[in-house]
Every structure is written in C-alpha cells, then in structure tokens.
Structure 1
Amino acid sequence: MSTTTTATTATTATTATAAAPASSPWGTEDLDLDAYLARIGYDGPREPGVETLTRLQRLHLAAFSFETIDIGLSEPGPITTGSLQEKFVQRGRGGCCIEQNLLFAAALEALGFTVRRHLARVRRGNRSDLRFRSHATLTVEAEDRLFLADVGFGDEGPLHPVPLIPGEQVTVGAWTWKVDQEDEETWVLRSLHPDGWFDVYAFGFETTAPSDVDVSYYYTATHPRSVFTGHITAQRGEDHARYVLRDRTLRTRHPDGTCDETQLTPDQVVAELRGRFRLTLSAREAAAVRAFLDTQEPSGP
C-alpha cells in the first residue's frame, strides 16, 4: 500500500457539505462562523478548496498568537467551541495548541472541509525520548488531497498547509517544512534548519476523541510538570523571524540560526504581548501579568 493511500484511507470523510453537522461531538455547530471569519479578515470564497484552506490558515495565524497566559496565572478556561470563540473572537486573545486547533477545526468543518483531529508527540529535535501526546494538530482533506493544517504550534509551526506526501516541501518566507512517513503508523512534521531537517512532532491516525483532548489539555494546563504551568508564554512565527516570550525573556530566532535574547521589565512584557504578539489584554489581565512577573527575578543583565 502506498504512503499516500494509507493516509487518505485513514481520513475518509463523513461529510463534504457546506453545513456543519446537526450535532457534532466537537461542538462545531456552536461556532459563529461569520464572526470568526470577520475577526481574521477573511471575505473570500467559502468552497472547501486548497486556496481557501491556505488563506484561512495564514489569516488565523496572523490574527491569533500562541499564548498560555491563563495557564501561567493558574486560570485555565474551558475548551468548548463557544468558550474558545468568546476568548479568541470576542476578547482578542490567543491560546495554546489545543485551543487554537479546536477553534480552527470547527471553522473548517463549518465550511465543509473534512477534518481529523490528532494528538502528537512533540519532539523539537529530540527523537530519543518518547513523550506523551500533548500537541493537538489537524489533517484536512481538500480537492482530494490530504494536508497537515496546524495553527497551534507557535514559533516552529507551518505557516501554510503541508501536503501529506512524503518529501514534498512547502516554503513560506525563509522557512521550509515537509511531512515524512517514518513507519507504518508514524508521520513526522519536519522544519528545515541551517544544519538540516529538524523533527517538530510525530503523529498517527489513531482515533482521537474529545475525551482524549480533554485529558491532554488538563495535564498541559494544570500539572506542575507541564512546561506551561507557572510561566507566561507567547510564541509567534512570521516569514523571516520566530519569536518566543517566556516570562521576562524574549528570544528572536533568525533564518541563519542565530538567536537574539532580550530581558524585559514587566511593563515591557505587557507591551510585547499587546504589540508583537497582537493580544488584547484588559486592564485586569495586564495587571495580573505584571504582578506575576514582579515575583520573578530577571534571568540576565
């Protein structure tokens, strides 16, 4: 069996109409599609084609940054479609991978795309440690082709959909990605670094239920060993730079592999969140971020 056939068979559509299911286990019917599209600035065709998928991914990423402010402040919210719409669309915030891709999946399904949700094992260049499935990602069928469409990985995530054809590359700005099939069950998203291909994460086509995502989110948002609890994090990938904010430290990675690091004051962190990361913070939220950061010592000069 060919690799392409394996993936396509694993994601056979259950619907290809422009209307959301009457009752979806993922709550797709609770999405206000018009409000979502207006928030990201999309006014193009609503047919579920490759061009539509690409534009939607690009605009979603431009509108919403990866961020875990609520998790860092020990105030994680629910991950229902309605609550995510309120947080992203109405309040102008972003979210973690699970929040981002659940909202994006609901919008795609409402437009008639066939979407499958997956939980992936983050690698970030480390192939030796078998980590638990903490990252949510999507595969989407468009024009009889299958794509990885991920708006939730932050700095290293793809800016356009990536075809699930081993070795086929997608380049946006200075960055290049591909998806390879590692074995019968494992697909790997890879990003090209100056020293070669970098494993971002690995995923498979086993069935993922809402309860699986709930458990992964609960660990991510509450467990003391989670990399996001007890820290304020924001990430953003753009055409020619990748930004990672963690507490008071802002790192900027360039296509040549160099990285700049800047230590910030609490006021500067709030300004970066509102500016570079395009987040709307209320006065209460900004004050909570400053208070949290005031308890920490800067990690550098």
Structure 2
Amino acid sequence: MNLDEYFKLLGLTKPEQPDLAFLHQYVARHMALFTFNNLAVLLREPMPLDTPSLLEKVVRRGAGGYCFEHNKIACEALTHLGYSTRIVVGRVLNNYVRPVPRTHRITLVDIAAESYLVDVGFGPACPVAPIAVNAQAPQQAGQEYYQIKALANHEYDLVLEKADGPFILYRFDLGQYSDADCAVGHFYSHKHPDAVFVNNLVVSKKTAKETVALTNHRLTHRTQSQELTTTIDSGTALFKVLTQTFALNIEQEICQFLFERYIAPKLAGNESSAGVVSGR
C-alpha cells in the first residue's frame, strides 16, 4: 500500500492546492476509520515506524495504533500532498503539571500566516479537527472545544474545555524535532515498565458526533445527548467489544489473555481508569 491508495481508502481526492478545508476533511476521516489502540504494545509485537510498515499495519490491516504511528502517517501523507509540515514532540500532562518525558508526536501544518495543530493519535481526548495555534478563543472540534494557550517560556498547552473547567492535555514547543526524537519517545512508550501503554489496555474511535473508548475494564460511549459506561467482565465480553464495536481482527484466545493479564487484576483491585484520559 502507498499513500495514494491510503487517500483513496479515505475517500479523499488530492486538492489542487493545500488548503484548510481539505485538512479538516482529512483529520475527521482518518479518525473515523482507524482505531487508536495499544494492542501491539501489550502483545509485545514489533512496532517499526517506517512508513510502509505503518501503512501495512494501521491502514491495510486496519489494526490501528497509537500516536507515533497515526501521526507519522499523517505527517508523511500531508507532506506528500504539498503541505508545509513539521514534527512536534510534546509532554502529556492530563491536567497534572509535572516532569514527564516527551511521549506524544504531533504535526504542525503551516497554511498562509497560521500554524495548525494536527493530531490524529491522542485517543478519546483527541480533537477531530485542526486547531489554530494563534487563535485567542476556544475552537470547536466535534462535540468539544479546545484552545492552545501560549506560556511565558515559549511553550504551549493544548487545553480541552470541560464542564468543570479547562483541562491541560499536553504541552509542546516549536523546537526542531525529527524522527530520531520520535524514536526515543516511541521506545519509552512501548518498552519502559512504567509507561502507561505498557500497563493499560486502551482502544478508542472518534467522530464529530460520538466517541467510543475502552480503558481497561471501562467502555464508554459518549454522544452529545448522553454518556453510557459499561464494565468488561470477561474475555468473551472483550472479544465482542474489540471485534464488533471496534471492528478489529483479533482472536478470542488473545482477548482472553488480555483480559486475564491486564483487566482482571484491575477489576479485582477496583482500580479506577478515570485518570487515563488519552491512554497515556
């Protein structure tokens, strides 16, 4: 599979010139079609970051992935179309400012005099539209509003406007980053024993109208009018959710393993998943 076949699968035609309208379509369609998940991390599968491997895994096989996979595809795809792109690697905060490594890949896209944050790999909290870096007011993306707030030290926070107040998702700067920086963050995210992705099962899919997210034993389905949460209490239930709700091709035996290894202990200990906003 190549990038042109990828755009065909998304139902998108190359624009005559790079513009914001196409960028909105691209973000929404990628996120609606492919799941955010860390199954490969938990199953200890090889996770190469070269573009052919990512197109094979995420796109052709429909296996999904996490930020270093989704946002690498996005950056390569938009560059292929002539957009001015650059890599950014940020620190995931989830509203708790503390020293953390740079473990989230993002793409910045320059159009005319504005830069836009393009993120298709941040799970259920991910904006389903580009977010202008320099806009002063909150910007709507699907059901939610986001704002990028400039800090005094030349850093920026991506903030999700929630009912109980602003929630800082991650922090980034406009330094020069490369695939080498992403390789370091990727290695930490899927190999370090304390990394969130190494210790939790996270799967989600998001459109402008609904978000479906699985974090360990909690499955949440949110629309504009309601939010429903159910508990995954068996390997069979996990198999049903992964294959039917998220349309992933996975064997029941593997779901049983994932349930016993990662979900059952949390159910037994009644551990909360509320703090894992993005799966990080």
**SS state of the match for residue 202, structure 1?**
strand
- 1:121, 1:135 within 8 Å by CA — same for their partners in 2? yes
- Given candidates 236, 241, 244, the residue that maps to 2:213 is 244
- Given candidates 125, 150, 160, the residue that maps to 1:191 is 160
| 2:79 is aligned with 1:109 | yes
For 1:116, the aligned partner's letter is R
| 2:37 is aligned with 1:67 | yes
**Corresponding residue for residue 277 of structure 2:** none
For 2:73, the aligned partner's letter is L
Unmatched segments (≥5 aa) in structure 2? 271-280
For 1:106, the aligned partner's letter is E
CA distance in 1, matches of 2:45, 2:34: 19
- Given candidates 258, 270, 274, the residue that maps to 2:243 is 274
| 2:169 is aligned with 1:200 | yes
| 2:254 is aligned with 1:288 | yes
For 1:212, the aligned partner's letter is D
**SS state of the match for residue 127, structure 2?**
coil
Compute the TM-score of the two structures, normalised by the length of structure 2. 0.86
Alpha-carbon shift at residue 174 of structure 1 (Å): 2.3
| 2:55 is aligned with 1:89 | no
CA distance in 1, matches of 2:142, 2:180: 37
- 1:98, 1:135 within 8 Å by CA — same for their partners in 2? yes
1:226-237 equivalences in 2 (<5 Å): 226-237=195-206
- 2:85, 2:110 within 8 Å by CA — same for their partners in 1? yes
CA distance in 2, matches of 1:252, 1:62: 14
Alpha-carbon shift at residue 260 of structure 1 (Å): 2.6
1:121-140 equivalences in 2 (<5 Å): 121-127=91-97, 129-140=98-109
Alpha-carbon shift at residue 145 of structure 1 (Å): 2.1
Distance change in 2, residues 1:181/1:132 (3 Å): same
- 1:164, 1:179 within 8 Å by CA — same for their partners in 2? yes
Residues 74-131 of structure 1: CA distance to partner in whole angstroms, max 9, x if unpaired? 214111111101101210111111111001111000000011111101111112x121
- Given candidates 168, 171, 180, the residue that maps to 1:211 is 180
Work out the percentage of aligned pairs sharing the same amino acid: 25
**Corresponding residue for residue 14 of structure 1:** none
Alpha-carbon shift at residue 48 of structure 1 (Å): 0.9
For 2:70, the aligned partner's letter is Q
**SS state of the match for residue 179, structure 1?**
strand
Q: How many residues align?
A: 267
Distance change in 2, residues 1:226/1:76 (3 Å): farther
Alpha-carbon shift at residue 167 of structure 1 (Å): 2.2
**SS state of the match for residue 157, structure 2?**
strand
Unmatched segments (≥5 aa) in structure 1? 1-30
- 1:148, 1:161 within 8 Å by CA — same for their partners in 2? yes
- Given candidates 18, 35, 45, the residue that maps to 2:15 is 45
CA distance in 1, matches of 2:129, 2:59: 21
**Corresponding residue for residue 179 of structure 1:** 148
- 2:108, 2:115 within 8 Å by CA — same for their partners in 1? yes
- 2:18, 2:81 within 8 Å by CA — same for their partners in 1? yes
- Given candidates 106, 130, 142, the residue that maps to 2:111 is 142
| 2:11 is aligned with 1:34 | no
RMSD of the alignment, in Å? 2.4
- 2:189, 2:197 within 8 Å by CA — same for their partners in 1? yes
**SS state of the match for residue 195, structure 2?**
coil
For 2:258, the aligned partner's letter is F
**SS state of the match for residue 133, structure 1?**
coil
CA distance in 2, matches of 1:233, 1:210: 24
Compute the TM-score of the two structures, normalised by the length of structure 1. 0.81
For 1:41, the aligned partner's letter is G
Residues 249-293 of structure 1: CA distance to partner in whole angstroms, max 9, x if unpaired? 3234566997734234222222222333343x154xx53232232
For 1:293, the aligned partner's letter is F
